[in-house]
Amino acid sequence: MIDLTGKQTAVQPLLLTARQAAAVLSICERKLWELTARGDIRALRLPGRGKARAIRYDVEDLRAWINRLKTGPPEKESRETV
C-alpha cells in the first residue's frame, strides 16, 4: 500500500484467523475458542458452504476484550498472606 506521501506502507489486516488472534493475545487457540464459546470474544463467520465457512476475529473486538479486562474488577486473592 502506498500512502499519500508516496511511501510504501505495510497493510494491517482487519480480520485475523484463530491462530493469528491467539498469537497476538498471547494465549493458546484452545483458550481463544473457550472465550469465543462463552461470548467473551466475538467471532465472525464468513460466508461459505458447510465446514468451509471461515471464522475470523476483528482486531477491534480483540482490543475491546483487552480493554474490558483492564477496566474490570480486580481479582480477589485466593489465599491471604500472613
- Site of grid cell 484463530: 18
Residue-level pLDDT, tens digit, the chain, 82 residues:
555 676 777 778 899 999 999 999 999 999 999 999 999 999 999 887 766 579 999 999 999 999 999 998 766 655 555 4
What class does CATH assign to 15-68? mainly alpha
Break the chain down into helix, strand, coil percent, rounded to 5. Answer: 40, 10, 45
According to the model, what pLDDT value does residue 82 have?
Answer: 46
Domain residue extents for the chain: 15-68
According to the model, what pLDDT value does residue 40 have?
Answer: 96
Q: How far is CA 22 from CA 7, 25, 69, 70, in A?
A: 31, 5, 16, 18
